[in-house]
Amino acid sequence: MKLKIVYYWLYFRFKRKSKTRKELTQYQQRKLQSFFAKVLTQSPYYATFVKEGKVLDDFPIINKQIFMEMFDQINTQGIKKQQAMEIALQAEESRNFSPEYGKLTVGLSTGTSGKRGLFVVSEKERAQWVGLVMNRVIKPIFFKKQKIAFFLRANSNLYSSIRSSLFEFAYFDIFKPVDELLADLNAYQPHILAAQPSVLSDIADRQQRGLLHISPKQIISFAEVLQDEDNHFISSVFNVSITQVYQCTEGFLGVSCTHGTIHLNEDFLLIEKKTIEGRRFHPVITDFTRSTQPIIRYELDDILIERESPCPCGSVFLGLERIEGRADDVLVFTTSEGKVKLYPDIICRMIARRTNDFRTYRIVQTDESHVRIELDCDPGDFDTVGQRIQAGIEDLLQTNHVYSITIELQKGITTSPGSKLRKVTRAIL
């Protein structure tokens, strides 16, 4: 595995870079032709399209729901969704993320809908991911081993693959109480701090109040939208500019340059823009490096805004002005011991473990002692599904010593026309 990582690190570091958009487009087309012949012919779902001589534009645009429904047919390794899901759920419950499906890494994800998603990657794909991250994300400190503190909702062999003679990787499970995590962080003293913006803000707040004393040389933000105010606050507290990583279940999509522009990784992704209005668009991605679980014309719910002018860094890769939309709110409760925060990822992952029998949901904190569960599911399932979610939230609250909270169950989702659904919201006026 380590030799493969070194190979891909060298490959990404020294491979020829496209100097113009025309060169990039030609490169993408060559990679796609090879990918169709070598990979898609092994996928029962896509093999028919290839045999019929279809070009990319002829392939259907899919989303997470279709991707999961067709899991058995899309993957190239004969993996069964039920078996993979059992492995992923067991890992979530036990918090032991080392089990694999044969030699494949399996993980559970949640997205905007909160619905379960499965990702499966091979050892080769893990090595590619690590090699790319080492090249484009991690800033090297030469002649010194770097300690990386990774705050994650779930660990994975994918992430722990970073560990080597150059990097020491520490996984911080955000299901644990915040005070315990920050005590461990203080003891660890990382060179690199990687976490969601909501977690980074909490860490910066503790640092500012003198309850934490760390000096990271690099801060990496991922999983949620990094709002400008959070970016400024975190950066000012640690006097470090933040590296933004745009990654989701579907892959490592982009990373910010030295000018703060997020550039999409178009040397292994083909991005089709489904225009919403103006420079706003939904990305439809085709990844010609994912061979276990091919990602072909996969539409994401994210709303991206393209830069109006080229980035000063000179990259030919598509640059974003920003990833639009609010990060989900953090629920905040007051106890005799102080404030307790429940991060949205914790809540969504808990619900994904408890049930999947819903269309969508929204968790709304309306005041210090009231939480409303808005649930959209089949009428006959409402009581059962609602009770599972309610029990899960009660367990989370009690684990964090939060009591006397009223939890209300509501049929249907309350939204304003045209607004984006945020699955966890703190709506305290």
- pLDDT tens digits for range 138-195: 877 666 788 999 887 665 555 555 555 577 888 898 878 878 888 999 999 999 999 9
Alpha helices (H) in 214-368, listed in sequence order = 228-238, 344-354
- pLDDT tens digits for range 270-302: 999 999 878 888 899 999 989 999 999 999 878
Is 280 domain-assigned?
yes
Per-residue confidence (pLDDT) for residue 326, from 0 to 100: 47
Residues contacting residue 421 through CB under 8 Å, at least 6 positions apart: 112, 360, 362, 413, 415
Per-residue confidence (pLDDT) for residue 302, from 0 to 100: 80
- The answer on pLDDT for 93 being more than 80 is no
| Domain identity same for 312 and 256 | yes
The CATH number assigned to the domain holding 346 equals 3.30.300
Is 27 domain-assigned?
yes
Closest CA relative to residue 346, chosen from 363, 367, 369 = 363
Per-residue confidence (pLDDT) for residue 154, from 0 to 100: 60
DSSP conformational letter for 419? P
Is 53 domain-assigned?
yes
β-strand partners of 199 = none
Report the alpha-carbon distance of residue 242 to residue 39 in Å, rounded: 36
| Domain identity same for 318 and 345 | no
Report the alpha-carbon distance of residue 135 to residue 153 in Å, rounded: 24
- The answer on pLDDT for 229 being more than 80 is no
Contact in structure between 34 and 269 (CB atoms under 8 Å) = no
| Domain identity same for 251 and 312 | yes
Residue 301, phi-psi category: left (phi > 0), alpha (psi -120 to 50), beta (remainder): alpha
153-162, 299-308, 398-407: least confident range: 153-162
| Domain identity same for 315 and 336 | no
Per-residue confidence (pLDDT) for residue 102, from 0 to 100: 77
| Domain identity same for 118 and 261 | yes
Confidence at 333, pLDDT banded by 50, 70, 90: very high
Contact in structure between 283 and 304 (CB atoms under 8 Å) = yes
| Domain identity same for 96 and 180 | no
pLDDT mean over 233-262: 92
Taking each helix axis as running N to C, give the angle between helix 344-354 and helix 382-399, from 0 to 180 degrees, rounded to the nearest 10.
130
The CATH number assigned to the domain holding 227 equals 3.40.50.980
Distances from the Cα of 22 to the Cα of 19, 26, 94, 120, 317, angstroms = 8, 6, 49, 33, 11
| Domain identity same for 338 and 399 | yes
Is 305 domain-assigned?
yes
- pLDDT tens digits for range 98-121: 667 778 888 777 655 556 778 888
Average pLDDT, the chain: 86
State which amino acid sits at residue 74.
Answer: I
pTM: 0.74
Domain range for 209 is 141-244
Sign of CA dihedral 339, 340, 344, 345: positive
pLDDT mean over 316-320: 96
Report the alpha-carbon distance of residue 59 to residue 49 in Å, rounded: 7
Domain count, the chain: 3
Confidence at 417, pLDDT banded by 50, 70, 90: very low
| Domain identity same for 267 and 310 | yes
Helix (H, G, I), strand (E, B) or coil at 176: coil
Report the alpha-carbon distance of residue 30 to residue 227 in Å, rounded: 37
Per-residue confidence (pLDDT) for residue 1, from 0 to 100: 66
List of E strands, 186-306:
192-195, 218-221, 242-248, 251-256, 262-264, 269-277, 280-287, 295-299, 303-306
Cα of first residue to Cα of last residue in the chain, in angstroms, is 52
Give the best-scoring range by mean pLDDT among 122-131, 230-239, 348-357: 230-239
| Domain identity same for 103 and 14 | yes
| Domain identity same for 308 and 378 | no
